[in-house]
Amino acid sequence: MNIEIKSRYNDSVLFSGEYASLADAVIAAAKIHANLYRADLCRANLSGANLSGANLSGADLSCANMSCANLSGADLSCADLYRANLSGADLYRADLSCANLSGADLYRANLSGANLSGADLYRADLSCADLSGADLYRANLSCANLSGANLSGANLSGADLCRADLSGANLSGANLSGADLSCANLSGANLSGADLSCANLSGANLSGADLSGADLSHADLCRANLSGADLSGADLSHADLSHADLCRADLSCANLKDQSKVAAGNAVVQIGPIGSRGATMVAFNTDKGIRVQTGCFFGDADSFLAAVLDTHVGNEHATNYRNALELAASMMKADR
């Protein structure tokens, strides 16, 4: 029968011929590199189709079934893939920049080296997907499921990962600078050597995560759960750790604001709420002596006490802070 592939905008015919199905027509068009720009393929069944290198830029593939399809090197930039089924699909080095993939099923899909910059992946299922080396610059991944995904070496700078599930994901060496990971689930994730500078990790769950050697400079870790996390050798200079849970976290050799390094062993004590703001006081045992962080203050013990006496002279808060510092020093067996 005669199959016509039309434009989603003006109904003009982009490709036609005698084929048994729409899928066969699309495969034939892809084989001869026909231009399927803005094609109307809504709800098309392209499961297992070989569309390697196809030009599907701007195409309407919403709710289409492309499970296990070969889309390696395909141009899907600005395509509408809303709630499309791409589970197990091969999208190696495909161009998905600015594509709409919200609610799409990409379970176990191969997206290694793919261009997803500016793509909308809100609530997409990317669990166990391979995104190694992918470009996700400023992509929207809020509420997406990335559990067990491989994102090693991926570019996620400026990406929105708010409330995303990244539990058990591999993000080693990934670029997450300036990314929004607020309230994200990163429990058990591998973030070793990752760039998280200026990232928003407030309220994130990083329990048991590997952050060894990671760059967390200027990161917002307010109220983050870092219990049992490995932060050894991480850069925590100018990071906000207010109200963060550092229980059983390993901060050995982590860099702080003044280039001091956290000592090994029992080197961090958190006490709070304390003071007029009900803040958390964090004391670090470092190679340069005790360092204290609370609110906007970071400095050595003597500077901390001087600041306390200047602000709370003669009141109970001064006494509480002084006692807290003495307790922290005793627990860490450190000299002030």
| 98 and 78 Cβ atoms separated by less than 8 Å | yes
Q: What are phi and psi of 34, to 5 degrees?
A: -65, 150
Phi, psi of 272 (to 5 degrees): 175, 170
Take residue 168 and report the two structure tokens written for it.
């058990």
**What DSSP string runs through 210-279?**
B-TT-B-TT-B-TT-B-TT-B-TT-B-TT-B-TT-B-TT-B-TT-B-TTS-BBPSSS-EEEEEEETTTTE
Residue 334 pLDDT = 59
The set of residues, in sequence order, having a beta carbon less than 8 Å from that of 123 and lying 6+ positions away, is 102, 103, 142, 143, 144, 145
Amino acid type, 134 = A
* Residue 207 one-letter amino acid: S
DSSP states of 134-171: -B-TT-B-TT-B-TT-B-TT-B-TT-B-TT-B-TT-B-
Q: Region 197-220: what's the mean pLDDT?
A: 98
What strands lie across the sheet with 268-274, from one edge to the other?
A: 268-274, 279-286, 289-294, 297-300
Token digits of residue 36: 């399927």
Q: What is the pLDDT of residue 77?
A: 98
* AA letter at 73: G
**Selection from 273, 330, 329, 270 nearest residue 301 by Cα:** 329
Task: Tell me the pLDDT tens digit for each residue of 152-166.
Answer: 999 999 999 999 999
Q: How far is CA 57 from the centre of its chain?
A: 27
Are residues 131 and 112 in contact, defined by beta-carbon separation less than 8 angstroms? yes
Taking phi over 0 as left and psi of -120 to 50 as alpha, with beta for the rest, 253 belongs to left
**Ordered DSSP codes for 15-51:** EEEE-SSHHHHHHHHHHTT-B-TTBB-TT-B-TT-B-
Name the token pair of 83: 């709630």
Question: pLDDT tens digits for 274-333?
Answer: 888 888 888 889 888 898 888 888 888 889 888 888 888 778 888 898 898 889 888 887
**pLDDT for 25-81, tens place per residue?**
999 999 999 999 999 999 999 999 999 999 999 999 999 999 999 999 999 999 999
pLDDT in the model for residue 120: 98
Domain boundaries, the chain: 258-336
CB 44 within 8 A of CB 24: no
